[in-house]
Structure 1
Amino acid sequence: MVQQLVAEYGSGYDQVKNAIGGLTKEELQFKPAPDKWSIHEIIIHLADAEIVGVHRMKRVLAEENPTLTAYNQDAWADALQYSLEDAARSLELFGLLRQTMLPALLRAEEADWQRCGIHEEAGPLTLAQLLERYVNHVRGHLAQIDRVLAAYREKQAQQ
């Protein structure tokens, strides 16, 4: 199970890149509703979330029961003006972060997967649970990208 998650984690960048490959600027910038993210903003978010995820997983591997801080993703998107960020650079950063973390996950031994950090909101989380969260995080945003594209195409068809 864990090895499948590691493999999917390692392919996350390619999955995202393939999902947005060939999209126009208009498709990337389209917001299905004022309070929803564009694909562009989703990409920025994935990079920021990966920064946090790599930090959390490395702390769990290196420290005894570290505190894992929470963050408000919507506040980050608003305050950091995700719509003005460079999505191509953020996608590249997301990929680099995954490439950087992957060797440590591949080297992890059986006992490492049970090492734990204490998340401020979720409580105790093992390395295996953190990995699963970050795999599921990409899965969720890939589905979100599909929904945004479907909404864009529906809007285009109505015009």
Structure 2
Amino acid sequence: MTSAELEKLKYPIGQFECPSNISEQIIESWISILEHFPNRLENLVKDLSDKQLDTVYRPDGWTIRQVVHHIADSHHHSYSRFKWTLTEDKPVIKAYYEDRWAELMDTRTAPIGMSLSYIKALHEKLVYILKRLSEEDLNKCFVHPETNNEVKLNYNIGNYAWHSNHHYAHIENLLKRNDWL
């Protein structure tokens, strides 16, 4: 497999590119992605067998099961980051080793239903908050400890809309390649 082919498998929709001017319309479109993502994801994976769930989406990548559990874990962290940022002044967030989390027993073996339910509840709460943020709220930021960069909430909304579509594409592309759709 060429490096270009591997890159396409890693980033099937490309990497997140945030527009320099984040308009209200862009925010609304990102929130809509987050609002509809849990049902889209569930519809994509609900009929998969354990063997299919335990298939990697790319060489040296995670299984579909790990991806679903990763989404729940990652979006859990994102939700906390939104709440910290709305209640503290430029909080330094807690980073985590997503690769290590993905190798934990629950992520490798647990039924995906628990994460699908969690993603639904989490996104419902997140979207409720996001739809009510003021312009001032959207410009609040947290600090990422690994880069020391300030991350605005408006950017983070887009990043997690992208993250949702990014992992959805990982799974969907695997299902298409294996003729499972």
Q: For the residues of structure 2 that align with 1:31 and 1:6, how far apart are their CA atoms? A: 29
Q: Which amino acid aligns with 1:145?
A: I
2:162 pairs with 1:143? no
CA-based RMSD of the aligned residues comes to: 1.8
**More helix as a share of residues:** 1
Q: Structure 1 residues 33 and 117 mapped into 2: Cα distance closer, same or farther (>3 Å)?
A: closer
Alignment pair present for 1:126 and 2:130: no
Q: What secondary structure, in the 3-state scheme, does the structure 2 residue paired with 1:143 have?
A: helix
TM-score by length of 1: 0.88
Q: 1:114 aligned to 132, 135, 139, which one? A: 139
Please state how far the C-alpha of 1:82 moved relative to its aligned partner.
Answer: 1.4
% identical equivalent positions: 24
Distance 1:121 1:22, change over 3 A: same
TM-score for both structures, normalised by structure 2: 0.78
* Runs of 4+, deviation exceeding 6 Å: none
Going from structure 1 to structure 2, the CA distance change for 1:80 and 1:23 (only over 3 Å counts) comes to: closer
CA distance in structure 2 between the aligned counterparts of 1:39 and 1:48, rounded to whole angstroms: 14
SS, match of residue 131 in structure 2:
helix
Q: Return the alpha-carbon distance in structure 2 between the equivalents of residues 54 and 6 of structure 1.
A: 13
Counterpart CA distance in 2 for 1:32 and 1:139 is 15
Q: 1:34 to 1:3 in 2, by over 3 A?
A: closer
Which residue is equivalent to 1:46?
Answer: 71
Partner residue of 2:62? 37
Most deviating of 110-119 and 11-20: 11-20
Corresponding residue number in structure 2 for 1:157: none
Change (3 A) 1:58 1:80: farther
- 2:104 is aligned to 79
Q: Which runs of 5+ in 2 are unaligned?
A: 1-25
Question: Which of 87, 112, 124 in structure 2 is aligned with 1:62?
Answer: 87
Q: In structure 2, give the amino acid aligned to 1:15.
A: R
The equivalent residue for 1:11 is 36
